[in-house]
Structure 1
Amino acid sequence: MRDSRSPLFFWCLVFFSLSHHGPLKVEAFTGTYGINYGRIADNLPPPESVVTLLKLAKIRNVRIYDADHSVLNAFKGSGLELIVAIGNEYLKDISVYEDHAMSWIKENVQPFLPDTHITGIAIGNEVLGGTDEELAGALLGAAKNVYNALDRLKLAGDIEVSTPHSAAVFANSFPPSSCIFREDVLVYMRPILDFFSKIGSPFYINAYPFLAYKSDPEHIDINYALFRSNAGIHDAKTGLHYDNMFDAQIDAAYAALEAAGYDKMEVRVSETGWASGGDENEAGATLQNARTYNFNLRKRLFKKKGTPRRPKMVVKAYVFALFNEDLKPGPSSEKHYGLFKADGSISYNIGLHGLKPSSASPSLLSLTRIRTRSCLGPSAMVLTCYVMVILALMI
């Protein structure tokens, strides 16, 4: 029997779906927990070992700050989901020449698909809120040219285009409901938000309770910053109560988006973490505080819940960072955000397993044993698995 539904009926359904639900979103994040894999160091394990480490830690979502081919090759066939980045130094050029955006994608993304699961491209890092107005003015053009190039290659439906922001884009953030974008930032931010709302990209924010506490330790309760029991804060305007600063920072971003007219956009955390060491004037930068924050953050994210302002919008976050990075410039804290040390052992115990033994916790396998495990016979493999189970029970 001939289907009586006409093509017009089909396209009406498509239009109805788009008009009521907005643009189709690229799903660039599985679950709620991810990590930033920075490599400003001269002593890190090779990318192939990092893939093994990530699998041991059961961390699937990963961000890098470039598109290094050794990393992209190492991630082939791993099942890990990767966001690559275009550095700030390339944005002005790519914003002017769409063919340069196309060339970048053809060199750094397309050849690695689909074996390397590249789910997103970050356009720069913390561009807005700084002092370089020319760079700020190039951000939108770069994002559009990258997206248009992806679209021409029929990859726009699979790869998310986004850009991460720092808290410097806000005029204020306390209480959360009062947060708005800085006026000088809004002139650049509004057209970017308009474009991202059309293509379905989230608003990425780097949220650091550590930095807030470090800047004002006399007036911020460290328990509030570390997810520990505390009196919390009450937002009189909304009547909402916050028992941790992480949720408050996310809701501050939601408030700023609402004030700018983008109340449907998702807020996603591109970076958050706590330094395990720092200079004498860096309050709170201790190993114990870093362990407490990252343990409680992981527990909070695994609950798959929203914030007081957006209870149905599950929070997703990338932790900063995978490794301590010994060549990072700036204060000493910048070198001490890693959940793992450069040798692949854990920095402190939050329930993750490293590549080799450490003073923080027994490990499962050393780097050498991981590289040679394929040479083990069946009996040796059974013994190894038995030892792994015993060690895991001891943690």
Structure 2
Amino acid sequence: MYDADHGVLRAFKHSGIEIIIGLGNEYLKNISFSEDNAMDWVKVNVEPFLPETRIRGIAVGNEVLGGTTPELWEVLLPAVKNIHHALDQVHLAKVVQVSSPHSAAVFATSFPPSAGAFKESVMPYMKPLLEFFSRIHSPFYINTYPFLAYISDPEHIDINYALFLKNPGIYDDKTNLHYDNMFEAQIDGSYAALEKAGFGKTEVIVSETGWASHGDPNEVGATVQNARTYNLNLRKKLAKKKGTPYRPKTPVKAYVFAIFNENLKPGPTSERNFGLFKADGSISYDIGFTGLKPSSASSLLSSFKVCELLIHCTSFMFIGKISLTSY
């Protein structure tokens, strides 16, 4: 969840579904100013809902470093520390993990995977953040989108490589590793960047990935067929619980973006069409996850008891049992 909507949190009471809630970027300054502000936020948005609602994480900010608001870069770590301290004070630090997802904008290079490296401009903020997360055993969360890479250069990127379909792949001369899909190449680029920064033992988890089913004329590849292909093949890959070429013993973990189309979101048409379900609750396309036909989508939604909250719910995890997050 990009927020901590109380209606959504109540809706998942006793559901058994694990949830990561978000502390929005607009609150970072206030939370960073004092531990009391962080404690107030935890007591209002976390503590009252546990253990009935299985809140398992707090994402402090979203895509802050490398973003277009540098003043937030300085307050991210203090906000993270204050939230973690508040959780520790109420004896929840071992139950609720603190994290902060990043976009690909934090990287200076990511291709080939072994060349992955963080931008020098973000390192003064990234390194101390990674040091703190290393101490509290939090992973590195990255939003990974082969779709965005493909539409930025469709003439030179093989769409089959982006969609997990048969293709020649790419070869990384430095590691002597072959990649037959962009998704794993992007993950290993993150591992390479972490190693260069001195955090080679940090686990990488994909906090967002998906494919748009519709787009503007210049958004080549944004089709229902491609979206279904990407998410279906991603689901199959994650279900195998295998690692990447560079980290074969660390099972890949990823959250799919999104459950629902965000029909009121500004920006390009693709931004409003990442959902497995449409904003009205009908199914966009079937990837074999629900086993439902379009006419029976409502039964799934009612079983989650969130029919009135559809617009909030947008991503979930294909790892063993389902963990659901909502934006």
TM-score using structure 2 length: 0.90
Structure 1 pair 366/131, CA: closer, same or farther in 2 (3 Å)? closer
Structure 1 pair 368/276, CA: closer, same or farther in 2 (3 Å)? closer
SS at match of 1:264: coil
Measured against aligned partners, the alpha-carbon deviations of 1:253-301 in whole angstroms (never above 9, x if no partner) come to 0000000000000000000000000100001101100000000000000
Aligned mate of 1:363, from 256, 274, 296: 296
Contact 1:354-1:365 within 8 A present in 2 as well = no
Structure 1 pair 174/280, CA: closer, same or farther in 2 (3 Å)? same
1:244 is aligned to 2:181: yes
Specify the alignment match of 2:239 in structure 1. Answer: 302
Amino acid at match of 1:166: S
- Distance in 2, matches of 1:300 and 1:367, equals 24
Kindly, what percent of the aligned residue pairs are identical? 68
TM-score using structure 1 length: 0.75
- Distance in 2, matches of 1:91 and 1:369, equals 34
Structure 1 pair 187/364, CA: closer, same or farther in 2 (3 Å)? closer
Contact 1:65-1:84 within 8 A present in 2 as well = yes
Structure 1 pair 322/139, CA: closer, same or farther in 2 (3 Å)? same
- Distance in 1, matches of 2:153 and 2:286, equals 28
Specify the alignment match of 1:216 in structure 2. Answer: 153
Q: CA deviation at 1:344?
A: 2.2
Specify the alignment match of 2:15 in structure 1. Answer: 78
Aligned mate of 1:106, from 43, 51, 68: 43
Structure 1 pair 368/182, CA: closer, same or farther in 2 (3 Å)? closer
Specify the alignment match of 2:257 in structure 1. Answer: 320
- Distance in 2, matches of 1:288 and 1:133, equals 38
> Once superposed, what is the RMSD of the aligned Cα atoms?
1.7
Aligned mate of 1:203, from 140, 148, 157: 140
SS at match of 1:271: strand
Specify the alignment match of 1:257 in structure 2. Answer: 194
Specify the alignment match of 1:167 in structure 2. Answer: 104
Structure 1 pair 78/371, CA: closer, same or farther in 2 (3 Å)? closer
- Distance in 2, matches of 1:370 and 1:253, equals 37
SS at match of 1:227: coil
Q: CA deviation at 1:121?
A: 0.2
Aligned mate of 1:286, from 206, 223, 247: 223
Amino acid at match of 1:173: S
Q: CA deviation at 1:367?
A: 7.5
SS at match of 1:184: coil
Amino acid at match of 1:155: L
SS at match of 2:132: helix
- Distance in 1, matches of 2:69 and 2:272, equals 25
Structure 1 pair 365/108, CA: closer, same or farther in 2 (3 Å)? closer
Structure 1 pair 101/317, CA: closer, same or farther in 2 (3 Å)? same
- Counterparts of residues 25-64 of structure 1 (less than 5 Å): 64=1
- Distance in 1, matches of 2:246 and 2:302, equals 48
Structure 1 pair 224/69, CA: closer, same or farther in 2 (3 Å)? same
Structure 1 pair 126/371, CA: closer, same or farther in 2 (3 Å)? closer
Specify the alignment match of 1:118 in structure 2. Answer: 55
Q: CA deviation at 1:329?
A: 1.1
- Counterparts of residues 77-96 of structure 1 (less than 5 Å): 77-96=14-33
Amino acid at match of 2:20: I
Contact 1:274-1:337 within 8 A present in 2 as well = yes
Q: Which runs of 5+ in 1 are unaligned?
A: 1-63, 373-395
Q: CA deviation at 1:164?
A: 0.2
SS at match of 1:164: coil
